[in-house]
């Protein structure tokens, strides 16, 4: 808090500039959008004559909902023209931006962020980087509070969306977050914020989910429910959905005849990932199927060439059987090792 207060004066100097570009990271999320919308408001409050612009190379679907709701506009463009003053917001790495880096270095760059500090901070004239904050929007709301400038409703909606989104619907919130929320939420319905952040998935994705569920085969090993299914697209989202509604592990295959490839998406619950790392499993299976795979402990995927000597149904059955077999092998090996260790103790 003290840190922000001490920095506010310097920040205000930059915000009073006549032309400012506020840059969001690639596929700008609600935190990036909320932060930029609020900063843009603050700049125009401090300098009503100024020219201010928000830009991103792409914007997420949820962020679009929010922008529509609050009637704010941002420029979707790559390699934007850089004015003398550029704010980079909620972005820790230059890789997340499509800007001319050599040109950027000649500008007055100001960074406001909550990610781990990187080399990007070195090119900045000034930065506020608070890693312990769950969102950049929270940092910016704090600045408003310190300056005793109460933001208008649309700005507060944008900031609340940023905070709620980055805290994973408040799961990562701390006391400061709740203090800031109670400051921002005056006259705003929290349900509305949640509604703005709830992404209505598109019709083809929902159809894929339903098909994946209706075609699902459930096998059980050691009390673990393994769900196997197939779709023609959205396999990752289907695998995730199947676990969210009750399976411990899911494997969903998509056969893409056109692209001459098969794809598998795997998901599991945390208690299963202690025994089988889905990314490792998919990496191994990917190689076995002469393709490639990888991922994280609870989510993995692979791509492999399509075997044209076989029918689609054969391929689906073979691949799902293989996934199941390899999963069971790995699970049993890990479980035995675990038991042995336990017995020794």
For residues 129-188, which are near Mn ion according to CB under 5 A?
136, 166
CB of 28 to Mn ion, least distance (A): 10
Q: What is the DSSP string of 230-269?
A: EESS-HHHHHHHHHHTT-SEEEEEEEETTTTEEEEEEEE-
CB of 159 to Mn ion, least distance (A): 12
Which residues are within 8 A (CB) of 188 and not within 5 positions of it... i.e. 6 or more apart? 153, 156, 157, 160
Check: CB of residue 271 under 8 Å from CB of residue 298. no
The residue with tokens 């299963």 is 272
Question: Where does this chain touch Mn ion (CB under 5 A) — which range of 20-28, 30-38, 174-182, 279-287?
Answer: 30-38
Q: Is 72 in the site for Mn ion (CB under 5 A)?
A: no
Q: Which is nearer to Mn ion, 90 or 248 (CB)?
A: 90
CA distance 124 to 306: 49
Question: Where does this chain touch Mn ion (CB under 5 A) — which range of 23-31, 168-176, 208-216, 222-230?
Answer: 23-31
CB of 77 to Mn ion, least distance (A): 21
Q: Binding residue for Mn ion (CB under 5 A) from 90, 248, 283, 298? A: 90
Q: Which is nearer to Mn ion, 129 or 212 (CB)?
A: 129
* Other CB atoms within 10 Å distance of the CB of residue 44: 15
CB of 113 to Mn ion, least distance (A): 8
CA distance 297 to 46: 48
Judged by CB under 5 A, how many residues of this single chain contact Mn ion? Answer: 4
Q: Which residue is nearest to Mn ion (CB)?
A: 31
Question: Where does this chain touch Mn ion (CB under 5 A) — which range of 2-10, 86-94, 217-225, 337-345?
Answer: 86-94
CB of 3 to Mn ion, least distance (A): 18
Beta strands in the chain (DSSP E): 19-23, 51-56, 75-76, 85-89, 108-113, 126-129, 217-221, 224-231, 249-256, 261-268, 292-295, 299-305
Question: Where does this chain touch Mn ion (CB under 5 A) — which range of 7-15, 82-90, 267-275, 323-331?
Answer: 82-90
Q: Binding residue for Mn ion (CB under 5 A) from 15, 31, 87, 133? A: 31
Instruction: Let me know the angle formed at the C-alpha of 143 by 42 and 77, rounded to the nearest 5 degrees.
Output: 50
Burial annotation 168-179 (CB, 10 A radius, 16+ → b, else e): eeeeebeeebee
Residues at the contact surface with Mn ion, assessed by CB under 5 A: 31, 90, 136, 166
């Amino acid at each position: 808090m003290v840190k922000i207060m001490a920095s506010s004066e310097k920040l205000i100097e930059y915000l009073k500039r006549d032309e400012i570009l506020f840059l969001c990271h690639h596929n700008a999320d609600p935190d990036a959008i909320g932060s930029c919308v609020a900063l843009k408001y603050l700049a125009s409050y401090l300098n009503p004559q100024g020219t201010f612009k928000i830009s991103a190379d792409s914007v997420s679907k949820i962020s679009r909902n929010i922008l529509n709701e609050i009637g704010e506009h941002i420029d979707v463009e790559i390699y934007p023209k850089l004015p003398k003053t550029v704010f980079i917001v909620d972005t820790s790495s230059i890789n997340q931006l499509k800007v001319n880096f050599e040109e950027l270095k000649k500008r007055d760059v100001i960074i406001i962020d909550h990610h781990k500090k990187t080399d990007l901070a070195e090119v900045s004239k000034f930065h506020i980087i608070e890693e312990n904050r769950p969102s950049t929007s929270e940092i910016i709301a704090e600045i408003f509070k310190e300056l005793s400038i109460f933001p208008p409703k649309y700005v507060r909606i944008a900031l609340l969306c940023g905070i709620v989104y980055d805290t994973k619907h408040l799961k990562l919130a701390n006391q400061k977050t709740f203090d800031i929320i109670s400051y921002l939420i005056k006259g705003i319905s929290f349900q509305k914020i949640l509604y703005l952040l709830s992404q209505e998935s598109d019709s083809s994705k929902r159809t894929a989910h339903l098909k994946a569920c209706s075609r699902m085969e459930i096998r059980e090993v050691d009390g673990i429910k393994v769900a196997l299914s197939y779709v023609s697209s959205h396999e990752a989202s289907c695998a995730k959905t199947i676990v969210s509604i009750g399976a411990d592990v899911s494997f969903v295959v998509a056969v893409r005849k056109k692209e001459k490839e098969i794809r598998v998406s795997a998901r599991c619950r945390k208690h299963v990932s202690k025994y089988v790392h889905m990314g490792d499993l998919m990496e191994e299976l990917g190689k076995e199927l002469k393709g490639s795979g990888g991922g994280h402990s609870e989510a993995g995927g692979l791509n492999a060439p399509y075997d044209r000597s076989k029918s689609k149904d054969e391929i689906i059955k073979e691949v799902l059987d293989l996934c199941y077999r390899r999963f069971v092998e790995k699970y049993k090996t890990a479980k035995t090792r675990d038991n042995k260790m336990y017995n020794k103790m």
